């Protein structure tokens, strides 16, 4: 193990602008209720995730759960000196704070970043913080199971997982550049991980090219990052086609390029200010059962909310080095939680909005990738009808959404008087502006996502393969010709309520202390303060 001095750490941690994980945490510390720390000891095996399930996981996690603060565990059993962060992006409101946008405008913020992308740049050792501490696999005593506190989400997991490992690799032929994606990585031995690729992932295409040549694929696994990097990396084809480097979206979000540096033991690059980097190679023609060490039959909880089956044959990543910052923070997530909704959902929203805006400028004004679909399966789309013709245009916009984001399963269309972030308002529109025999359109036999257990031939024998599904449009918009006659909402007078209930409202007219539910389900977790004004 070697170390380098951390002479820039303190200065950078206090800067206002977010540029890495530590500056993101500093920003949250200035917003009460967004980040908590605990020194109480916690076991990374099932206990850590079990604690956060109750505090702030949200998403498709089994109830009881809620939207709550991000959390840093400073006392991780068996790993002195390590801190584990969970839930950094597990709130749309919190992501808005970190990406400099109101939560209801994050779709447009992501769209602008995609349209104004800035490619990453290479930097030298003087700007490389991720290699302040170096562990090489060719050294005696190297065991990643003892070096890194990889958690498990449940007692049934196949093993410890790195759930926020951003894998970076390059096309071995040099034709298609570099790609980054988050994949589930299960610890298999002292120096190996299994890696799961959903169908169509670009790094898997790189792996197959290398394997066809009998060669390993060099990768870096980057953890503990500026949230802009994680979220920008989740754009998918066709929005970011094969060969597109998604790190450019993070550059667009921050207005400056992501900085990369050379790995120490493989011919690859890594993110220079990452908290943790795993260097290694995906081996050709080597496969391993995901649960070979536990035989639980399960993998880990994925975004639909289920413990999926362990994969019987996954590619193997041979670890060659682990590098970290001094006093490192391992970042993780609760698999089905609201953090996945932010990671996957915001790029989903921006991709759909961008495609629809190109096809029908101004017609689709808002898109929300709903938490119940893990940010992938369900989109609520607000359309702005101005003629009878737009009754058909709304449904066509839903078809554009399906073509833009392959894994999308259901679309709910609503009018411009509906709050797409308020599930009760969306369900109200479905109850009063939709007839099942007229306004539900199902399109069978389309490509979907293999992690949905209903998208299997076992569920429906008519499906030809796992990951094929029926996609559905729920048109909860009022027919344009009838809007003024039958579908005008009751016109309440707009009154400032503060003179009557000052204890409930701040000076800006909003519920005091930020306790109003924010877009994406940030429900209040405390009671309004009493009125002490006499």
Q: 279 and 240 in contact (C-beta within 8 Å)?
A: no
Q: 284 and 210 in contact (C-beta within 8 Å)?
A: yes
Neighbours of 191 (CB within 10 A): 19
CA 521 to chain centre: 16
Q: In which element (H, E) is residue 83 found? A: strand 83-86
Name residue 270's beta-bridge partners: 261
> 3-state secondary structure string, 357-375?
HHHCCCCEEEEEECHHHCC
Cα 140 to Cα 158: distance, rounded to the nearest angstrom: 27
With residues binned 3-state (H G I as helix, E B as strand, rest as coil), the percentages for the chain, rounded to 5, are: 25, 25, 50
Distances (CA, A) of 489 to 47, 356, 421, 483: 48, 27, 18, 10
Q: For this structure, is 302 an active site residue? A: yes
Q: 287 and 311 in contact (C-beta within 8 Å)?
A: no
Name residue 71's beta-bridge partners: 36, 86
For 164, what's the count of Cα atoms within 13 Å in the CB-facing half-sphere?
A: 34
Strands (E), 227-275: 259-262, 269-271
Cα 171 to Cα 205: distance, rounded to the nearest angstrom: 8
Cα 279 to Cα 223: distance, rounded to the nearest angstrom: 12
CA 21 to chain centre: 15
Helices 106-115 and 247-254: crossing angle in degrees, nearest 10, is: 110
Catalytic residue among 104, 246, 279, 302: 302
Q: Which residues touch 103 (CB under 8 Å, ≥6 apart)?
A: 92, 93, 95, 96, 421, 518, 519, 520, 522
Q: Which residues touch 277 (CB under 8 Å, ≥6 apart)?
A: 130, 131, 220, 221, 222, 223, 263, 270, 271, 322, 323, 324
Picking from 385, 382, 378, the residue whose alpha carbon sits closest to that of residue 367 is 382
Catalytic (active-site) positions: 302
């Amino acid at each position: 193990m070697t170390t380098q001095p951390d002479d820039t750490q303190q200065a950078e941690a206090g800067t206002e602008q977010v540029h890495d994980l530590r500056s993101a945490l500093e920003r949250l510390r200035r917003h009460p209720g967004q980040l908590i720390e605990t020194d109480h000891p916690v076991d990374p095996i099932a206990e850590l995730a079990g604690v956060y399930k109750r505090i702030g996981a949200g998403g498709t996690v089994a109830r009881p759960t809620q939207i709550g603060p991000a959390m840093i565990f400073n006392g991780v059993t068996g790993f002195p000196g390590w801190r584990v962060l969970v839930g950094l992006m597990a709130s749309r409101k919190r992501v808005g704070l970190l990406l400099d946008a109101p939560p209801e405008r994050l779709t447009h913020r992501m769209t602008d970043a995609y349209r104004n992308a800035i490619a990453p740049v290479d930097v030298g050792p003087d700007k490389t913080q991720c290699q302040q501490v170096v562990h090489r696999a060719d050294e005696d005593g190297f065991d990643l199971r003892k070096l890194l506190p990889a958690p498990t989400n449940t007692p049934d997991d196949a093993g410890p997982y790195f759930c926020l490992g951003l894998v970076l690799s390059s096309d071995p032929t040099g034709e298609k550049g570099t790609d980054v994606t988050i994949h589930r990585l299960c610890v298999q031995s002292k120096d190996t991980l299994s890696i799961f690729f959903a169908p169509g992932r670009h790094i898997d295409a790189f792996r197959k090219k290398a394997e066809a040549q009998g060669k390993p694929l060099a990768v870096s696994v980057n953890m503990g990052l500026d949230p802009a990097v994680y979220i920008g990396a989740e754009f998918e084809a066709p929005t970011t086609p094969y060969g597109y480097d998604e790190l450019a979206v993070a550059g667009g979000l921050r207005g400056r390029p992501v900085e990369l540096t050379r790995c120490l033991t493989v011919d690859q690059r890594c993110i220079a200010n990452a908290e943790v980097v795993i260097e290694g190679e995906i081996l050709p023609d080597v496969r391993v059962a995901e649960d070979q060490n536990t035989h639980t039959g399960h993998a880990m909880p994925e975004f639909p909310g289920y413990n999926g089956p362990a994969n019987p044959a996954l590619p193997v990543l041979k670890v060659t080095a682990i590098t970290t910052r001094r006093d490192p923070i391992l970042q993780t997530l609760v698999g089905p939680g609201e953090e996945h909704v932010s990671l996957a959902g915001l790029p989903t929203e921006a991709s759909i909005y961008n495609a629809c805006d190109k096809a029908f400028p101004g017609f689709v004004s808002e898109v929300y990738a709903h938490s119940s679909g893990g940010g992938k399966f369900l989109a609520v789309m607000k359309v702005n009808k101005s003629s009878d013709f737009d009754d058909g245009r709304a449904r066509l916009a839903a078809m554009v959404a399906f073509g833009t984001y392959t894994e999308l399963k259901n679309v709910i269309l609503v009018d411009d008087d509906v709050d797409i972030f308020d599930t009760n308002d969306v369900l109200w529109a479905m109850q009063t502006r939709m007839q099942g025999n007229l306004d539900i359109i199902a399109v069978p036999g389309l490509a979907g996502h293999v992690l949905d257990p209903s998208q299997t031939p076992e569920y429906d024998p008519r499906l030809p393969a796992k990951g094929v599904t029926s996609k559905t449009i729920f048109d909860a918009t009022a027919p344009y010709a009838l809007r003024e006659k039958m579908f005008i909402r009751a016109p309440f007078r707009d009154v400032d309520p503060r003179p009557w209930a000052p204890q409930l409202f701040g000076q800006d007219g909003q519920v005091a202390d930020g306790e109003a539910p924010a877009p994406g389900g940030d429900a209040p977790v405390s009671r309004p303060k009493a009125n002490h004004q006499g």
